[in-house]
Chain A
Amino acid sequence: MTAVRTAPVTATPPADQPPVPPDRRRVPYLLLLPGLLWLAVFFVVPLFTLVSTSLQTGSLEEGYALTFSWSTYGGVWTTYGRQLLRSFCYAGSATVLALLIGYPLAYAIAFKAQRWRNVMLVLVVAPFFTSFLLRTLAWKIVLADDGWVVGTLQAVGLVSDTGRLLATPAAVVLGLTYNFLPFMVLPLYASLEKMDPLLLEAASDLHATPMTAFRTVTWPLSLPGVVAGTLLTFIPAAGDYVNVQFLGTPTSQMIGNVIESRFLTVLDYPAAAALSITVMAAVLVLVLAYVRRVGARELL
């Protein structure tokens, strides 16, 4: 910091300050220990196993052996590139939808709900009280061909008389949106709730119309929530396979379905592992590009 007359002086601590006692210095490390252990056992070790599995070759009958061959990776790209792309498209659409639905909702809870605020927050989280699988199955009923949603849409003419929702990409995206909406709403709410409403009055006082005030004050201040919410929605949605299974078709599989069947049905472990790592890397690259683009690194 430059030395400025009125700026608070952040000088080095005075020399006569007593040194931190050794056992005090150990405290942060002790506090970190459980977390680090957890990560080591349940993240680092499995990751190593996964990488080493992906470098095995062989067949189910003869058994797989570690050969440090990267050949599996090349095959994975060419064979399953389409599913990977589709996953990102579905997850991206679901994220955008969730943002469009979640932002007004979070805004309303933060600024307009007043004494209903806690009730509304509980309602947002309420779906978590039922199992993920059950909720997705319920959507199968909601979107059924003879259900009221399709019936209404047909009556309005948005869906042709023979048209359907179930087993379409739209159903999968809707299911993903529904399932991950709370992950969008909660961080958005947290960042909006922190905002001082007086800032909007100040913007208004400084000749900003409500729209401009939103664009120049509310939106930028909620960006950390937007980034957190979109990541928390996009990442699990991109790896999801349940929604396609219940609401989609076998021909429109997402990458999660492929990995699941490689691991559990075909038992092609190296390919499944390579696929997992590829997805992880791709998501990581996307996320980094996105976060860099939004410039939210300093905000987070």
Chain B
Amino acid sequence: MPERAGQQHGPRDLRLVGLRKAFGSAVAVDDLSLTIPAGSFFALLGPSGCGKTTTLRMVAGLEIPTAGQVLLGDEDITRRRPYERPVNTVFQSYALFPHLSVEENVAFGLRRRGRKDVKGVVAEMLALVELAGFGRRRPGQLSGGQQQRVAVARALINEPEVLLLDEPLGALDLKLRRQMQLELKRIQTSVGSTFVHVTHDQEEAMTMADTIAVMNAGLVEQLGSPRELYERPASRYVANFLGQSNCLDGSVVATQGDETLVEVHGVRLLVPGRLGPPGSPASLGVRPEKARALPWDAALPADSAVRDPALRNAIPGTVTDVSFTGLSTQYVVRTAWGEDLGVFSQNAGGEAPVLRGDTVVVAWRPEHTFPLAPASVVAEEAAEQPLPRPAVPPTMAPLGS
């Protein structure tokens, strides 16, 4: 791979500062601030219409922000022309030039910058995306997956400091998609450019990205590594957008060291962290796969629950649904106050079988509990947002979705 053309500086972070874009009265991106470290694989994750494409277009220079700045290192590129930025884009709909061969599509950026000896580099790039031998074809003669790889090659060959990928794998079938995910990740590691990958597929974001920003209605809800976001989602929105969660509302009873005791409809649960003074509202969540559904009598022999940390957080309820998926069994347990809790149990054997109608206890370890922003605050925020939110019910996404 040749040296990056005309680059006199070291790796530079991409910084978005207070970025905002309004189309008339509709706000597509609202006061977005992000620092994307140089050389990282960064995912912008969010439902359709939350402003992901608009954000990328502002970085590419195809959209002028209403307010805010786009910086590369310390250089302000907010108003630079798209063709003057060290940024290239893989468009959501590819936007391949239909009148040019695959080779000429890929060579386009190099030629515009006056490179003459492009043949070798182009062949190398086509080989990298496994399209060697397709150079003479027109884009119209390729399948969707092949076109997508041409789009990647066409952007990547310029060795941009920042490569923007707008749902580039959306049109691919599952198998090719998995293959391309690994491929892109490999390419990113070997090229070392900063990749900003936009997707609405949480699994894709989790498998590929070093850092994920979960976007919702023009705002970043939470930023972190895939593991952080999954293990410690900060809001119901994130908790349910990345996988599924059981979310519960209650109020603080007492703070015990680094843990807080929260009462939810009379059940006392331990939550890591300090959630505020006694009496203040508190919300918490737990992943279905971290919870177990145990028969009532097995779970509560006198005071063993207090001693066994695996059973420390326990909510009684009735099993209303059991579905066997092979890998796991999914239970829906209705609590005394009518909320449904999900439990995924791996079919590892050993656990006593639980049937529909059984009275059980949903139990989990306190450290698997995550505190959430209180429901009232989230609800107010949601009411202020004019843009659509995903159809996720407040407590739990439907099981097996």
A residues near B, CB below 8 A?
Answer: 4, 6-8, 196, 198-199, 201-209, 212, 216-217, 220-221
Contact = CB atoms under 8 A, between A and B. Distances in A.
Q: DSSP class of A's interface residues: helix, strand, loop or mixed? A: helix
B146 A6 contact: yes
B: contact size bracket: 20 to 34
A203 B143 CA distance: 22
B172 to A, nearest CB: 11
Nearest to A217: B97
In the complex, the 6 A-B pairs of residues with the closest C-beta atoms, listed nearest first: A202-B95, A206-B109, A207-B112, A204-B82, A198-B95, A207-B83
A201 B82 contact: yes
19 contacts: A6-B146, A6-B176, A7-B143, A196-B95, A201-B91, A201-B95, A204-B61, A205-B82, A205-B88, A205-B89, A206-B83, A206-B109, A206-B154, A206-B155, A207-B109, A207-B112, A207-B113, A208-B112, A220-B99
A196 B97 CA distance: 10
Given A201-B82, A207-B113, 15 more contacts: A4-B133, A6-B146, A6-B176, A7-B142, A7-B143, A198-B91, A199-B97, A201-B62, A202-B89, A205-B83, A205-B155, A206-B109, A207-B112, A208-B108, A221-B99
A216 B91 CA distance: 19
A206 B108 contact: yes
Nearest to B89: A205
B157 to A, nearest CB: 9
Contacts of B113: 207
Contacts of A212: 112
Nearest to A200: B95
Which of A201, A206, A221 gathers the greatest number of chain B CB atoms within 10 Å?
A: A206
A207 B91 contact: no
Contacts of A209: 83
B186 interface: no
B73 interface: no
Nearest to A5: B130
Contacts of B81: 204
A220 B138 CA distance: 14
Contacts of A205: 60-62, 82-83, 87-89, 155
B154 to A, nearest CB: 7
Interface string B363-393: 0000000000000000000000000000000
Interface in B140-182: 142-143, 145-146, 154-155, 158, 176
B143 A6 contact: yes
A199 B143 CA distance: 19
B143 to A, nearest CB: 6
A202 B112 contact: no
B145 A207 contact: no
A206 B112 contact: yes
